[in-house]
């Protein structure tokens, strides 16, 4: 598992490739600065080399530009996919000082934000995928409480009972192990990213 931990956030990411494929069609990138956490999950259409090329193009673009707004990052992601296979893309940015999440997604990637008071936020993504064509993005903003958790995953995972998974005080390593044990899927590229705000 890929892990990041600092004074603001603890994140675990897990990824598997479709059975028989050496390259995964999903790619992700996240980083945490003093001000914010930013995360992208991109799921290239299909699987194998060209799906991987598309999703990596998106994550590399965001890695180089992560200080920009979520709206700008979605536009850059779309532009980098011209003449490549398309990708479903989810980008979100968490501002530590204002306790806000800015989220945008096109395609079948699910995002959940759970606050300890019991509120589960799960915005609906825009259907379709990014491919360089003019595209409508729907950017949404949410607030969160201390010790909120988030989970984002590609359609290779079919995770059920999200609220029960995220509520309570289990460390995210235990939640991640539980997801891997119960929902692992070799029929598709699969990625999840699970985080806790400290």
Contact 80, 62 (CB under 8 A): no
- As a whole number of angstroms, the distance between CA 140 and CA 193 comes to 19
Q: What backbone phi and psi angles, to 5 degrees, belong to 107?
A: 110, 180
Q: 181: number of CA atoms within 13 Å, CB side?
A: 7
Q: Please report, for the domain that includes residue 142, its CATH number.
A: 3.60.40.10
Instruction: Give the pLDDT of residue 87.
Output: 98
Enumerate residues 6+ apart whose C-beta is below 8 A from 177: none
pLDDT recorded at residue 41? 98
4: number of Cβ within 10 Å: 16
CA-CA-CA-CA dihedral for 90, 166, 148, 139, to nearest 10: 20
At 179, which helix (H) or strand (E)? Answer: helix 172-183
**41: which DSSP letter?**
E
pLDDT, tens digit, 9 for 90 and up, residues 128-140: 999 999 988 999 9
**How confident is the model over 149-159, as a mean pLDDT?**
96
- Show the domain range for 169: 2-197
Number of domain units in the chain = 1
* pLDDT above 90 (res 117): yes
Mean pLDDT of 19-46: 97
Tokens at 154, concatenated: 């590609």
Residue 74 has pLDDT above 90, yes or no: yes
Q: By three-state DSSP, how is residue 61 classified?
A: helix
Quick check: helix, strand or coil at residue 101? strand
């Amino acid at each position: 598992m890929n892990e990041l931990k600092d004074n603001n956030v603890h994140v675990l990411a897990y990824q598997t490739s479709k059975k028989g494929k050496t390259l995964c069609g999903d790619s992700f990138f996240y980083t945490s600065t003093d001000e914010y956490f930013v995360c992208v999950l991109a799921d290239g259409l299909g699987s194998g080399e060209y799906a991987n090329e598309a999703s990596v193009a998106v994550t590399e673009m965001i890695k180089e530009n992560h200080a920009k707004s979520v709206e700008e990052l979605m536009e850059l992601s779309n532009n980098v996919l011209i003449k490549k296979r398309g990708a479903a893309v989810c980008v979100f940015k968490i501002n530590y000082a204002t306790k806000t999440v800015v989220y945008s997604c096109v395609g079948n990637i699910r995002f959940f934000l759970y606050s300890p008071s019991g509120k589960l936020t799960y915005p609906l993504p825009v259907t379709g995928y990014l491919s360089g064509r003019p595209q409508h993005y729907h950017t949404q903003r949410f607030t969160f409480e201390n010790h909120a958790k988030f989970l984002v995953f590609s359609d290779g995972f079919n995770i059920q009972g999200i609220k029960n998974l995220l509520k309570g005080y289990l460390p995210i390593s235990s939640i991640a192990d539980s997801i891997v044990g119960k929902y692992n899927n070799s029929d598709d590229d699969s990625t999840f990213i699970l985080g806790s705000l400290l």
